[in-house]
Structure 1
Amino acid sequence: MNNFYTLIYLNREIKEKIQNGIFSFGISPHKDVLHIYIESDKETSRLIFSANARETALFLDRYRPPKKRNVIDFFPSLEGARVVDTSLADKDRLLSIIFEGGRSLLFKLFSGRPNVFLVEGDRIVDAFKNPEDLKGTSPPEPMAPVFKEEVSAGRNAKNQMTEINPLLPRNLLPYIIEEHEVEQMSPGKVKTFTRELSRSLLEEPHPRVLETGDFCLWSQKWLSLPSEKECETVNDCVAFAYKNAVHLRRLHSKKEDIVQFLERVEGKKKEMVRQLSQAEKSLNRADEYEKFGHLLMAHAHEQLTPGTEQITVEDFYENNDEITIPLKEQADIAGNAERYYEKAKDARKAYEEAKKRLPGEEKELLHVQSLLEEVREIDRLWDLDSWLKNNSESLNKLGFGSSDDKQLSSPYRKFKLGKYEVWIGKNAKSNDKLTSLAHKEDIWLHARGVGGSHTVIRMGNRKDYPPKRVLLQAAAYAAYYSKARGMKSVPVMYTKCKYVRKPKGGAPGAVVLEREEVEMVPPMNPNNQ
């Protein structure tokens, strides 16, 4: 979202708004989001920075009064300081707001760990993320990429273009390459085309947000993808793209929980309908049990040898063919006949109950499938909230947010990895409870050979394993919450929860694994991701 060319224009637009303004305060109303309020004679500006690695962004937003409660203050030593300038590093995504006295806020807008550093001299004195680890260290230095003069023949078009200009927004290059057939160009033509494309970013900016959600500075002349929004300033389009991305993430997270729940209910309903639809088998069994009873009663006068498990008699219903009937060892022939009459009665009762239940279950299945179809079509968060409100009664009856689904509101540490939820225990008793609540198809992880937290990847009853990147990241979390946290690489074992059991009389947190696999991972604090 904030590539280098975007920052060129943002730096100018932000500077115009906040230069000579006074740092009022900085707060974090949400995780990974910093709001900085800067007052000038004309207005109060609100500068928003997102340190979320998937949604890194910096932009000015319209003024909104700050929250009064449950917020954390940042950079209090800057309060009352005047902004004297802003500066963008040469060919790198490092933007500074410079205050009187030489102090500056340095915004790092790249890598998996974006951050804001308060810099004084050549040292970091405070930071938005992980301040205690960073105080006293050197701030990141600009690292301008290498620009080549010539294109390497034989490489694909994207690599050739980024050799000439490594600062091009790479997320948009596949569209550019396809539209302009760059793959068919000679190396010399690629070089000329890339330089013209780069020049347009500096001299002919056309800020817009594409329908794909991507921010773009190229006009339709260069990239004919349709726009969702066109803006007069780069800042306005960055703000729109960021809010749109946050909206989609929240929508996806909330929607995914509902879809997974309804899919589980749909699976159970389908299985119930399948079983009830086979009720005729109960009726057939009832006829067979009753026949066994009649045949046994015809031999009720006979004595059984103790331990007899079956008897062979003539079946007068089928031309006196021989038939073998299983027996209950503890009963005589008459007692076994009575048992088969009872089984026939129960089977007929099950058939009648199935006939009564089947229409209702089929109706409920259709209703669940209708809910699934509706929720899958929703593409706006406020529409999803409205849908939840309108269908709250139906969802409550199905058990959403209660009964089996209560696991989803567990009090343990919980983190999201895409659509997967990760649970991490807090202590030995918590580990026991966590593992006992997990579904048999969930993935269980633990640092090998050392004490630590039980970690579970929720699989939503899916029988496969999650993508390898999800497994490795959850393993890194398990390594972090173990006594091996200080190691560079930690062996973490993992398996399905169905292969994890607690030994009889075992201490809190103790388990036995029937099978396991191991991955070597570096410890990773999920709170920093």
Structure 2
Amino acid sequence: MAFDGITVAALVQELKHTLTDGRINKIAQPETDELLLTIKTADGMKRLSISASASLPLIYLTEENKPSPMTAPGFCMLLRKHINNGRIVRISQPKLERIIYFHIEHLDEMGDLCRKTLIVEIMGKHSNIIFCDEQGRIIDSIKHVSAQMSSVREVLPGREYFIPDTMNKLDPLTVSREDFIHTLKTHPAPLAKAIYTSFTGISPVAAEEICYISGIESAMTAGDLSEDMGIHLYNQFHIYFEAVKQGNFCPVIYYNQNSPIEFSCLPLTHFSQYTTKEVSSVSQVLRTYYAEKNTVTRIRQKSADLRRIVQTALERSRKKYDLQSRQLKDTLGRDKYKVYGELINTYGYHLESGAKELEALNYYTNEKVTIPLDPTQTPGENAQRYFAKYNKQKRTFEALGELIEETKADITYLESVSNALDIALSEDDLAQIKEELIQSGYIRRKASKKKVKLKSRPFHYLSSDGYHIYVGKNNFQNEELTFHFANGGDWWFHAKGTPGSHVIVKTEGKELPDRVFEEAGRLAAYYSKNRGSDKVEIDYIERKHVKKPNGGKPGFVIYHTNYSLVIDSDISGLKLLES
């Protein structure tokens, strides 16, 4: 889980800086397990979204407002009664728990100054928002937890609030070297797991990072640590958490291709193979990461039907190709049947009736051959049988030659569609791919549905030298870019021998620097089936030399005398502009 105690510590630092001394201006409860607080600060109005959702608990600053129900829920009304117009005097985190305390001052009905605490627990399915009085008694919570629901702790009005310590974890900010080493050496699990299960607020990813920067294999058994290794690990552990104590956070999101895979508030050096995006605040990291994660998940779900159609067609075409290839292989020996017929006609005059074979000299190779015969047929009939077999296999060979090329083109086309689905980022991208499959005959257009207006646009990058580079997301866009958008003097790039996007560099009549060729090559490698490889061969050529064969499928081109380069698929240094 990325939302660990370290992330909460960074978030608390940000909230302290932004919200301390702010007054709660408005309290809303847009969802059953979500609060939206509007807080008036010296820098203007700020909105704080707090979600105790079991599937995605979150807390972050946002500019987005959400509609509230016509009748406010009871918990929302309670908060409005007690802390509306209250002042946030302090924001804190106990140890390194995934818990945030908002200490709030307000005036009661008699005008006396009172203090209350709004407690946000970010603990997966056990997440909650709890409102307590000065004595630490629970006034109410957004989720009630009875004794029947939990044997560890009741969360009900009138109960005393406490943090359940079910795993007896140590505080990584204060643990001594002796306790650190002793705890790990008595742990039977792999080292990384021993770290995140023994100390509060550490996620598996952070535990892997601590092992990595220590140079110790995370899979080794913690109990096998030597004394020197334990001391070295503790020193690195201490340095790592010193950054947390000092508040030296650097929020960043890690991407694998276009998909966000992790976020962190401290560097993850063992994620060096992934591209990164540094973000100015923890709240922005959380908003961006989960929004993009949800987008990728939603696009994956929405593309499932298209993927199934493409995969089914691919499997069918591949089986067809294998069958045709075997049939073609069977025709490769067809010439011998023609020779057999000729030899029977030449030497068969002396055969006795009912002969089962003929031994003769093959005058083409000057070698003896034995020709099987049908004893119920005359030599002439045997010869005609072999000529007929030869002619049949010849016709099969000629027909299969064309069919195999068609089947191979179908496979190449479907693989290009599969690649387009891999790089699709929006519903508009999927709509364009679906329209392509309809026009190609893989999907039947519903009679009631009109042709959709396609809104998807190619990727648009700016090179380090200021040249505009365009990348097609699918075959329609590849066709448009290459034959309608690009000029003859623009440069065209494509990964060699593999499905991928057409990449166009607009030259504006200028000679391109070498670096532009390298960056365009990286884009062609990244948006191909070979993305992630260190060495991808790229073909590139001036656009005027790229041709479309008659009857070719969308995006299919031919070219000759091209240039080639071999390059990696790292595009982290390139700037993506709005399409």
Q: TM-score, normalised by structure 1?
A: 0.50
Larger radius of gyration: 2
Q: TM-score, normalised by structure 2?
A: 0.46
